[in-house]
Structures are given as C-alpha cells and as structure tokens.
Amino acid sequence: MTMLSKRNPQLNKHGELVHLLSTEGLPRAVIHQILDTAGTFLSVNDREVKKVPLLRGKSVFNLFFENSTRTRTTFEIAAKRLSADVINLDIARSSTAKGETLLDTVANLSAMHADMFVVRHSESGAPYLIAQHCAPHVHVVNAGDGRHAHPTQGLLDMYTIRHYKKDFTQLTVAIVGDIVHSRVARSDIHALNILGVPEIRAVGPKTLVPGDLKDMGVRVCHDMAEGMRDADVIIMLRLQNERMSGAMLPSAGEYFKSFGLTPEKLALAKPDAIVMHPGPINRGVEISSSVADGQHSVILPQVTFGIAVRMAVMSILAGNEA
C-alpha cells in the first residue's frame, strides 16, 4: 500500500477515486473530473431513453440506516440511468434491528455480489468503517454520516456554483444557518477551500456556528447583514431540530427575523447572486417563499444537477480498481 492510499482511503495507488467518503482531502483534479463528467451526463436527462450502459451488470446497494427519501431517490435514479441493478434496503427495520453488527450486515451483502454500497448512517465514520472491511472490488459512497460529511451534496453544490459563476477564485460564498449540525456545510467548506474560493463566510447565531471554523479559513459572522454583503453565492441550511438537544434557539419566528433570507437581506448581496439550499426547505423559517421561488433561486436546478453528479461519481468509481 502506498503512502497516498494510507493517507487518503478514498484513493488508490494511482491517485484515482475508489470510494467517495468526504470532500476533505480530495485532489482538486478529482473534483474537476467529477464536475466535468457530470456535465456530460446532464444531456442524458433530456433524452427519451434516459439510460447509458456504463454500470450494466453491476449491483448498487442503497444502505440507508437513516431515513432520507430525497437522497436515496436521486441515487436510485442515477444508478438506474447508468443501467445498474439497484437494491434498496431498509436496514433500520431489518438486520441491524435484530442485533446484527454493521460489519456482519456488510459481509452478508458482499456475499450477494454487491459492486457498490451507497451508505447513509447516523454515526459519523460508518462509511469509512465499511470501506475498510468490504471486499476489494466493492466501492463505497457516503450519502451522509452523522454531522461529518455529505460529499455528493457538496459536489453537486460545487457543480451548481461552477455552472452559474464559472470561476471559483473570485467568489464570496456565504453559508447561512445551522452549521454546527450540518454535514453539508462541512463538505461545502472543504470543497470550496480546495477549489480556491477566497472568501467563505459562516453566518448564524453563536449557538449554531462552531468555533473551529476559523481554523478552516472561514470568516464567522453572527450578523446577517455582514454575512450577506456583496456575496456571490448564498447557501441556506435547514434548521435540524431533530439533531438539537436543548433550547438552542428562542423560536423559529425569532430565528427568521434575524437569519431568515428575505428579499431585503438578499438585496445586500451582489445583484447576480444565486441562492442555494440542499433541501428540504422550511419556508418562513430559514427562507421566505418569495426568495425560494424568486429569480435568484437555483434550488430546483440543484436537484437536476444532483442526479448528474451522482451518476458521475458512480461511473468514475466503477471504472477504477482498488
């Protein structure tokens, strides 16, 4: 095993992607490869027959230990458009509920000749553990683990930004909301840094913005006006009430007054700013309907791009040997 693969479990000895576990540590060239490949798949969505044969004969197992209809659906669509056989497993209600360990579950599924695992898990690091213990030919895609990472969401966000803004090296990007609980925010910040974005802002109340972000080169703003001023890209995040313990906010109404994105606050950003959101949206909590449905919003295109990006990731992984 080379030093490269020891240092980054996502890459083989040639520096090629064999698992997608995090945007952290990805070479810039690999991110650009994924974004470029996704661009070639966008046209597939417009065809009458929306299929290409790149994963024909391969089996993709969606292992969702945590619910997410939206992410699982886009992975399923992406895999089917690549002509893979897709198996959706409701793991939370099956084997692990009966006491089977995570690794025993993976070993049994590997014996069913799985080629790829798409893993969503409430525990940070679970996809890494699976990647370490699965058969050498099996590829693992992290579809969200705990508060840690959501790399395909991060990459589709990068695709969206590149589509509308072309050059990362001149941008100011504001990430607004519940950053402390957000694996999307962490994946975005790592990717933005790798791609050379000079100004990344984390905007939100002190209870929802972690203190270690400054170490990641992020400017922390606890005032919405400061965070919005002259921003090119605004990424709004959902308030993750299900992950909050105790009262971290006075009320949804108070939060919206201070940090909800309204036309008035958006007016502080650049005139051609884009507004993004990973979904699902809480209208009237983190974003007003007039902004979510307005001319600056690219929230629905993000969903379309997400399918192409997930097709790109799976096709690249399938083409690389461990």
Is 214 annotated to bind a ligand? Reply is no
Is 238 annotated to bind a ligand? Reply is yes
Task: Give Cβ neighbours of residue 116 (< 8 Å, ≥ 6 apart).
Answer: 58, 59, 60, 61, 79, 84, 138, 139, 140, 141, 314, 317, 318
CB 238 within 8 A of CB 278: yes
Is 19 annotated to bind a ligand? Reply is no
The four Cα atoms 16, 20, 21, 26 give a dihedral, to 10 degrees, of 50
Is 70 annotated to bind a ligand? Reply is yes
Least Cα distance to 20 among 38, 44, 3 occurs for 38
Is 229 annotated to bind a ligand? Reply is no
Least Cα distance to 34 among 318, 233, 310 occurs for 310
Is 283 annotated to bind a ligand? Reply is no
Q: What are 221's two structure tokens?
A: 């703003």
Is 98 annotated to bind a ligand? Reply is yes
CA–CA dist 282, 236 (Å, integer) = 10
Classify burial at 9, counting beta carbons within 10 Å of its beta carbon; exposed 0-12, middle 13-18, buried 19 or more: middle
Is 137 annotated to bind a ligand? Reply is no
Is 2 annotated to bind a ligand? Reply is no
Is 206 annotated to bind a ligand? Reply is no
CA–CA dist 74, 87 (Å, integer) = 14
Binding-site residue ranges: 70-71, 98, 120, 150, 153, 183, 238, 279-280
Binding-site residue ranges for L-aspartate: 98, 183, 238
Binding-site residue ranges for carbamoyl phosphate: 70-71, 120, 150, 153, 279-280
